[in-house]
Amino acid sequence: MPRIPDEKRAAVLADVKSGEKSRNQIARDHDVSVGSVTNIARAAGMTDAFDRSSVENATRAAVADNRSRRAALASALLDDADKFRARAWGKYEYYERGQFGPELVSLDKPPLRDAKEAYVALGIALDKHVVLERHDATDPGVMGSLLGTLLDGLQAKHGTGDA
């Protein structure tokens, strides 16, 4: 394969130095291979031009933050379910048109239609809570630690099974 012309090499290197594009995007923009982009950067002494360790760390931090937010939301959904249940069984008040204007009417429990709506909302809150809990319970990192803990416990109680 012929050597990449100096003008094209300079353009590739300028994009590498700008740090605004990924290696793949630079390769597409200049119609060269990804390996050529890497080699041009390396030849210019830019050995860490495409180091993504900080991006990986930021991604791990964002994943942990999102997991924490889901846990808080799952807890809030249980609180919501409690409130909907209390509403389905609590005192119910409404205004009725009376002879001299609005009159407050109080019932021990809400009408069945309103209680049903409270239970529909309660069911939705519980379903979404379970979805969030299940999502994080199937996280490979969490599952690995759970399985590791389970294995350690079983081996402590029953041995490793090695003869």
Task: Give the DSSP per-residue string, 89-131.
Answer: HS-EEEEEEETTEEEEEEESS--HHHHHHHHHHHHHHHHHHHH
Provide the whole-model pTM: 0.55
pLDDT tens profile 54-77 = 778 888 888 899 999 999 999 999
Query: 110 is written with which tokens?
Result: 């809400």
- Map tokens 């029953």 to a residue: 158
One domain, residues 12 and 64: no
Q: Is 153 part of any domain?
A: yes
pLDDT of residue 143: 54
Centroid of chain to Cα 32 = 36
Strands 101-107 and 92-98 come out as antiparallel
Q: Which range among 31-40, 70-79, 83-92, 151-160 shows the weakest confidence by mean pLDDT?
A: 151-160
pLDDT tens profile 26-53 = 999 999 999 999 999 999 998 888 877 7
State how many domains the chain has: 2
| pLDDT higher than threshold 80 for residue 159 | no
Q: How far is it, in rounded angstroms, from Cα 62 to Cα 44?
A: 33
| pLDDT higher than threshold 60 for residue 3 | yes
Domain around 113: 60-158
Q: Is 1 part of any domain?
A: no
State phi, psi for 111 to the nearest 5 degrees. -60, 155
